[in-house]
Amino acid sequence: MTHWLNIPADTDFSIHNLPFGIFSVGKNSPRVGVRIGDYVIDLEQLRKFGLLAVPRNVCNQANLNAFINLGKNKTSAIRLQLQEWLRQENSPLKRYFNQAFHPIASVKMHLPVKVGDYTDFYSSLEHATNVGKMFRPDNPLVANWKHVPIAYHGRASSIVVSGSPVIRPKGQIKPADSAVPVFSPTKEMDFEVEIGAIIGKNSVLGQSISTTEAESYVFGLVLFNDWSARDIQRWEYQPLGPFLGKNFASSVSPWVVTLDALAHFRTETPQQDPEPLPYLAFEGKRNFDIELEVNLIPQDKQAYTISRTNFKYMYWNIAQQIAHHTINGCNLKIGDILASGTISGQKPDSYGSMLELSLGGKQPIVLDSDTQRAFLEDGDTLIITGFCQKDGIRLGFGEVSGKIVASN
C-alpha cells in the first residue's frame, strides 16, 4: 500500500506491478513511463530532476528498446526504487508530482517496443485439441505436437497498440459449395487470446539458449490478440502455414509487466507426456497464474463476457519456447515478441477463440435475445483483460482492445 498516493484497491496497476510503457501528453514527444494507479510516472522528467541515473536519450524515446538495453539489473533497480519512493512519506517524488505524474486520462499510449521479429507459438493443448477435432475427430493432435513447441514466423509490421482499429482483411476463400476460390472480405473474422513475451536481451547468431537461462532474455509480458481470418487461413495454410489469414493485424496491450512483478504468481507447468527431449527439460515453476477475460461489445450494445481462461494451462512454457526457438542458432533481439498461441481452458466457456466457442461457426454464441455471433462482425469491439491475484496482492495488464472496421 502506498502512503501518500491514492491508489484504488482493485487497480491492475498497484505498487506491486509498476509496468513500463510508452506514452505522450498533448503534442509532446513519446517517452518512457511507469503506471501506478490512475497515473503515469514520467521517467524522462525524473531523469532531468536528477532522480534517475540513466543516460540521455533513453527515457525520451518512442519505444522501450533503449531502456530495455540498459539491462535487467538497471531496469529492475529503477522499478524497486520507484516502489520504495511510493511508500515513503518523505518521498522525493512528492516535490515533482505536478511535473512527473500525469493522469492516465490525459495521456496517449503507444506501441511499447519497436518489434523486429514476431513468432507465434501453438502451445495450448486444449486449443490444439479443439481445433484438431474439427479436422481429425479421432486423432486431433498431429504427431509432433507433444514433442515440438510448434510456431510460425509472423508479421511484425502489422502489430498495433491496443485501441487501434482493425480493418477486415480481404483474400481468397473457398466456399464449401464451390470448386474454386473467390476473392472476398473474410466472413470468419476471429480473435485469439494470447500472452506475448517481450525479448529483453540480444543473443548471438549461432548461440542456443537453455531453459535455465531463457527467462533472463524476457523483459516482461503483454496481452496479445492474434487476429485471424479463418476462411482465408483455411484455404491458404497448406503446405506452408498461415499468411494473409494472420498478417493483417495483431494487437498488444501498452503496459509491459515485468517477470519480477509476476514472480509471486508462478505455478507448475502441466505434466508433459511423453517427456520432452533433454534440451526442453526445465526445473521450477515456469507457468504464470494469469486470469484472462474476453468481452465482446457489438455496435451500440453492452459488453458481453464470452470467455474466461488462464495462462497457467499452457502445455509449453516460455522457457521451453525460447530454448526451442534458438536451438538451431536463431538469434533473438531486444523488442522481439514471442506470442504464446491461443490460450484455452478445459471448459467450453474458457476457449480462447470464436473458432472454438462457436464450433467453427456451427453453434453461434447467443449474446442476448436478438444478438448472436458465429464470428466477429463489423462494428464489434473485442477486449481482452488479464490480472493476477493471490495472498492479497493484485496486479494486472489493463486491456488489449480493437474495433472491427469494414474492408476498404
Strand boundaries in 144-297, DSSP class E: 151-153, 159-161, 166-167, 170-173, 182-185, 189-190, 193-199, 218-225, 228-229, 250-252, 257-258, 266-267, 287-288, 291-297
Fold topology of 118-405? Fumarylacetoacetate hydrolase; domain 2 (3.90.850)
Strand boundaries in 226-364, DSSP class E: 228-229, 250-252, 257-258, 266-267, 287-288, 291-297, 304-310, 337-339
180-202 pLDDT, tens digit per residue, is 999 999 999 999 999 999 999 99
Q: Residue 1 pLDDT more than 60?
A: no
Domain boundaries, the chain: 20-110, 118-405
247-256 pLDDT, tens digit per residue, is 999 999 999 9
Residue 139, pLDDT score: 87
Q: How confident is the model at residue 126 (pLDDT cuts 50, 70, 90)?
A: very high
Nearest to 252 by CA among 153, 158, 134: 158
Residue 78, pLDDT score: 98
Lowest-pLDDT choice from 129-133, 223-227, 228-232: 129-133
269-281 pLDDT, tens digit per residue, is 999 999 999 999 9
Q: Residue 62 pLDDT more than 80?
A: yes
74-115 pLDDT, tens digit per residue, is 999 999 999 999 999 999 999 999 999 999 999 999 999 999
C-alpha cell at 286: 515456469
Fold topology of 20-110? SH3 type barrels. (2.30.30)
Query: 325 catalytic, yes or no?
Result: no
Residue 2, pLDDT score: 53
Residue 137, pLDDT score: 86
The mean of the pLDDT values for the chain is 97
Which residues lie closer than 8 Å to 170 by C-beta, 6 or more apart? Answer: 183, 184, 185, 186, 407
Q: How confident is the model at residue 138 (pLDDT cuts 50, 70, 90)?
A: confident
Compute the average pLDDT of residues 145-171: 98
- What is the total residue count of the chain? 408
12-31 pLDDT, tens digit per residue, is 999 999 999 999 999 999 99
SS3 (DSSP) at 152: strand
Bridge partners (DSSP) listed for residue 294: 307, 384
* Active-site option among 3, 102, 110, 127: 127
Whether omega before 112 lies within 30 degrees of 0, making that bond cis, reads no
Residue 63 · residue 20 · CB < 8 Å: no
User: How far is residue 395's CA from residue 316's CA, in Å, rounded to a whole number?
Assistant: 24
Q: How confident is the model at residue 135 (pLDDT cuts 50, 70, 90)?
A: confident
